[in-house]
Amino acid sequence: MCMDSSMLYLPLFMQVDFVPKFSVRGIWQRWRESYPTDGTKMDNAITVFTGVPTMYARLIQGYEAMDPELKAASASAARCLRLMMSGSSALPLPVMQQWETITGHRLLERYGMTEFVMAISNPIRGKRKGGTVGKPFPRVQAKILLEDESSNDNTGVGELCIKSPSLFKEYWKLPEVTKQSFTDDGYFKTGDTVTVDEDGYYIILGRTNADIMKVGGYKLSALEIEAVLLEHSAISECCVLGLPDKDYGEVVCAIVVPEAEVKRRRDEELKPALNLQELSDWAKEKLAPYKIPTRLFLWESLPRNAMGKVNKKELKRKLADDPK
């Protein structure tokens, strides 16, 4: 019987390989040690890896900085793992595609919360669709509280609600919060805005209170716009959010971390790594006019928590108070 050895950077609930902290160099090295270039396999080789999207983006950056020989050894080792998964937040399609090109792994993306553990997943064997979290597990019921009552569960956009055998009973000593978190028929309201594609795969559009922007009558997904912006050669990381505007309600704002080499080259030319006009011209072919950012900030890094997530609500408050 073969036992998996997993490197896990999410809440721990299984046998894992403990690492003091997330380290791009350390992870690539651990994989190369597990699967040397001579074709052997170490007794304690890592076979399963789980991370959040930010970690995969960092691993890609680390890989691209390697010399050709180290790249070859690293990619070869990564291909030997049995399974790689992504969780905690929506995985941008460009990151998934880059990772598959490097390692041969099409990341397994799933959807879960503390309140019900795991409820929706792409298949272990079968079609894993980029930009989606898959379909509900057996015995899990999912429905969408629609924003537009003329739509239906198969085409509409709204809040994802879950009923599952693993669903929690209540928040400890918080009866009112518990009551507000459930529908009358017992579904838990996740706070995530979703839609479903033609194959029944769920697409996470973002947290309703942080990732959904109301711009001139349109409801826009920040995650959708972020995924497109990450295709730009000058952008290493980005965060999209809505900032208050007296005419449109909100305007689309992009906070961008420039790609290091592009920034270095443009600095030598005494130019910013990217300006708003350049971004707008590029985005015209990829985004509807009302989705194109009208404000742009270039930052050295994005403030992230231990799970690699950006606190957009806090950022919105800071930028609204001090747009500089």
Considering the domain boundaries, does residue 28 fall inside one?
A: yes
Q: State the DSSP code for 310.
A: B
What CATH number is attached to the domain comprising 98?
3.40.50.12820
**Judgement on whether residues 60 and 102 belong to the same structural domain of the protein:** yes
Question: Could you tell me which residue, 19 or 306, shows the higher pLDDT?
Answer: 306
Query: pLDDT tens digit string along 132-161?
Result: 999 999 999 999 998 765 555 656 899 999
**Judgement on whether residues 122 and 221 belong to the same structural domain of the protein:** no
Structural domain range at position 164: 117-205
User: What pLDDT does 309 receive?
Assistant: 85
Q: Kindly report the pTM of this predicted structure.
A: 0.84
Considering the domain boundaries, does residue 299 fall inside one?
A: yes
Q: Taking each helix axis as running N to C, give the angle between helix 68-78 and helix 24-34, from 0 to 180 degrees, rounded to the nearest 10.
A: 70
What CATH number is attached to the domain comprising 134?
2.30.38.10
Query: pLDDT tens digit string along 181-203?
Result: 999 999 999 999 999 999 999 99
Query: pLDDT tens digit string along 283-292?
Result: 999 999 999 9
Average pLDDT score, the chain: 91
User: Which pLDDT band holds residue 324 (cuts at 50, 70, 90)?
Assistant: low
**Judgement on whether residues 77 and 149 belong to the same structural domain of the protein:** no
Considering the domain boundaries, does residue 96 fall inside one?
A: yes
Residue that is last in its domain, among 80, 106, 132: 106
The total number of structural domains in the chain stands at: 3
Considering the domain boundaries, does residue 185 fall inside one?
A: yes
Residue that is last in its domain, among 106, 141, 160: 106
Nearest Cα residue to 134 out of 148, 123, 145:
123
Query: pLDDT tens digit string along 72-117?
Result: 999 999 999 999 999 888 899 999 999 999 999 999 999 999 999 9
User: What pLDDT does 41 receive?
Assistant: 95
Q: State the DSSP code for 16.
A: B
Residue that is last in its domain, among 55, 77, 106: 106
User: What pLDDT does 93 receive?
Assistant: 92
Query: pLDDT tens digit string along 227-260?
Result: 999 999 999 999 999 999 999 999 999 999 999 9
- Percent of the chain beyond pLDDT 90? 80
Contact residues for 194 (Cβ-Cβ < 8 A; gap 6+): 144, 157, 158, 159, 160, 202, 203, 204, 205
**Judgement on whether residues 73 and 123 belong to the same structural domain of the protein:** no
User: What pLDDT does 2 receive?
Assistant: 58
User: What pLDDT does 11 receive?
Assistant: 46
Considering the domain boundaries, does residue 225 fall inside one?
A: yes
Considering the domain boundaries, does residue 1 fall inside one?
A: no
Q: Is residue 264's pLDDT more than 70?
A: yes
Query: pLDDT tens digit string along 204-214?
Result: 999 998 899 99
**Judgement on whether residues 122 and 94 belong to the same structural domain of the protein:** no
Q: Considering only 37-51, 170-184, 309-323, which range has the smallest mean pLDDT? A: 309-323
Considering the domain boundaries, does residue 246 fall inside one?
A: yes
**Judgement on whether residues 309 and 219 belong to the same structural domain of the protein:** yes
**Judgement on whether residues 144 and 84 belong to the same structural domain of the protein:** no
**Judgement on whether residues 196 and 228 belong to the same structural domain of the protein:** no
Considering the domain boundaries, does residue 182 fall inside one?
A: yes
**Judgement on whether residues 58 and 159 belong to the same structural domain of the protein:** no
What CATH number is attached to the domain comprising 293?
3.30.300.30
- In 122-171 the beta strands, taken as DSSP E runs, fall at 135-136, 141-146, 158-163
**Judgement on whether residues 227 and 311 belong to the same structural domain of the protein:** yes
**Judgement on whether residues 249 and 288 belong to the same structural domain of the protein:** yes
